[in-house]
Amino acid sequence: MIRVKIMRNPSDRSIESFSIDGHANYAKHGEDIVCAGVSAVTVGTVNSIEALTGVVLDSKMKNGFLSGRLTSVKSPDTFAQVQLLLESMIVMLQTIAESYGTYIEIHDK
């Protein structure tokens, strides 16, 4: 199962970090559309944040694991852009979970 953890700032509910861990085991390696979808959404979001906002997340990636932490963003406008991209990632992951909920769980704290 893929486990998604979203950590939010308690005061303003902004996303501070996220982690994705595990494998869906929906199909054999190389044919697993759930893993492929989650990977495309999450890695694409990290790449989009860096390419579109110039913000580099403190991120780690290895087989079956991706994490990202927002360290410091100086501009309020840039912070808002990063938050929009991260919230968009959550919506996309929730959409995957609607169809493949037995293979992915999302914890939004």
State the catalytic residues: 23, 35
Q: Which of 63, 27, 24, 20 is nearest to 45 (CA)?
A: 20
And the tokens for 83?
Answer: 């938050």
Cβ proximity of 7 and 16 under 8 Å: yes
And the tokens for 33?
Answer: 């559309």
| Residue 84, H or E segment | helix 76-100
